[in-house]
Structure 1
Amino acid sequence: MECRKFDITVISANNLEDVRKICKMKVYARVLMGGRSEMEKRTPVDKHSELHISESMVQNYNTMLVVKLYCKRTLGDRYIGEIHTPMKELFDCARAGGGLSTGLTFPVQKGYVNSQGALRLSYRFGEKAMIDKKLLAESVAGWSLC
């Protein structure tokens, strides 16, 4: 199966709505791709994530990258907002920049309106590679989208 490696790093989240009035917010991200809830991963903002996705998902405007932001709390985490962007637009933007990697800033949304704040991501698409679907599923433990 023809796939690409996709690396994503959350660089920063700025000017977010303060959903915790007493203490400092501890924000983390949940990353979801292609609308598959079983593919959701909780990722601290200072960590680097890697996935493998099929070429057909990269070339499809319906395949969305969703990053949801939450505030960690003892009595239950609180939703802050999220960003949605088509994988095809990310790929085209990176390719137009002369390579397969770039960084972008997205407005954080809550529902259908822009909320307060912005999320900055960097990402990189690897070259196409043929990968055995079964082998890929075993090697990346749930991050395979081929």
Structure 2
Amino acid sequence: MKCRYFQVTLISASNLLDVRHVGLMKVYAKVSINGNWDSEWTSPVDKEREKNPRWNCKIKYSLPEKAIKQKSGSDNLVIKLYCKRSFLEDKYVGEVHLSLKKLFDGGLACKNKNYLVYRNDVIGQTFGTLKLSYRFGSRSIHVDDNLGKPNERIFTTEILIGKLDFFNEICGGVTSDSCEVACGILGNIPGIEHGSVGSFF
């Protein structure tokens, strides 16, 4: 299958809706393709900056060419923001949906661009901005989605997700979902709590 690398750098958000009545906003993001659970990655939690969180995390996918070139443009990068709570369910803050085709048509790379944050329960109103950078691979690659070894397997749904690429880049190929990963933020920054990457293999 012909695929293309797609790397997203989740930088920060600004002026988000304060969804807490008591306590501080501790915001994290869930990044996925089309909201599919098996492509989802969860960022670290920013415990200090409240409505203006920063993450500076990189996520890499391998996408089929059709996902970024089909005329319908129906495949999307989905970023949902949540407020972390200790004892109750985390609260929904807002989300951003970006067409992969439109991103690709706009150029192979884009740096530090702001996108409006919306909520799925409010029509026509925005709730802050989300800043990110992205880049696509300059050429297509061929990916075998039926590789035999567990540490070489590429997970597929309707969209091919190259989780191995991201995992190897950050963890050096260690095939364990318990590896401590925060996309470059490995606990050295005060106020940052580690996120999770889910089960990769």
Aligned-pair identity (%): 38
In 2, Cα distance between equivalents of 1:58 and 1:92: 9
Give the Å deviation of 1:138. Answer: 5.2
Q: Does 1:57 align with 2:70?
A: no
Per the normalisation by structure 2, the TM-score is 0.63
In 2, Cα distance between equivalents of 1:42 and 1:90: 22
Q: Does 1:68 align with 2:77?
A: no
Match of 2:40, as an amino acid?
E
Q: Does 1:90 align with 2:103?
A: yes
Give the Å deviation of 1:54. Answer: 0.5
For residue 168 of structure 2, what is the aligned residue in structure 1?
A: none
Bigger share in strand: 1
Residues 91 and 19 of structure 1, relative CA distance in 2, 3 Å threshold: same
In structure 1, stretches of 5+ residues that fail to align are none
**Structure with the larger RCO, 1 or 2 (CA within 8 Å, 6+ apart):** 1
In structure 2, stretches of 5+ residues that fail to align are 45-54, 161-201
Q: Structure 1 residues 37-46 or 7-16, which shifts more?
A: 37-46
TM-align CA RMSD: 2.3
Give the Å deviation of 1:139. Answer: 3.7
For residue 125 of structure 1, what is the aligned residue in structure 2?
A: 136
In 1, Cα distance between equivalents of 2:100 and 2:153: 20
For residue 116 of structure 2, what is the aligned residue in structure 1?
A: 107
3-state SS of 1:88 partner: helix
3-state SS of 2:16 partner: coil
In 2, Cα distance between equivalents of 1:34 and 1:27: 21
In 2, Cα distance between equivalents of 1:25 and 1:135: 43
3-state SS of 1:82 partner: strand
Match of 1:110, as an amino acid?
R
In 2, Cα distance between equivalents of 1:132 and 1:67: 28
Match of 2:67, as an amino acid?
M
Give the Å deviation of 1:122. Answer: 0.6
Residues 143 and 125 of structure 1, relative CA distance in 2, 3 Å threshold: farther
